[in-house]
Amino acid sequence: MAPISACRALIATVSSRQRASENELVDGVAEYWAYSVQHVNRKRENLGDDLVSEAIRACQEDPEMPTAGAGVDGSSQP
């Protein structure tokens, strides 16, 4: 194989693997987001003695508390 062809083949292989890694990363983030939504919703239904429950209580006690955006269920309420 000519040097230029070998370089092109190597670049194509690395580029392909990089895309696969990016897809795996996106899939992992999506799975974690789904887990997080489920976890927060479970905690809302059964508050405990933990950090997430404390954060939920704080938001319930002070509706003006700044949040990171819409609620995990897509509503505008935290």
Domain ranges of the chain: 23-65
- Look at the block and give the residue holding tokens 């887990």: 35
Cβ atoms of residues 72 and 35 within 8 Å: no
Query: What does the pLDDT average to over 56-76?
Result: 68
Give per-residue pLDDT as tens, 28-37: 888 898 898 8
Select from 49, 39, 47, 48 the least CA-distant residue to 73: 39
CA distance 65 to 46: 21
Give per-residue pLDDT as tens, 15-51: 666 676 777 778 888 889 889 889 999 999 999 999 9
> pTM above the 0.75 mark?
no
CA distance 24 to 27: 5
Q: In the chain, at which residue ranges do the beta strands (DSSP E only) sit?
A: none
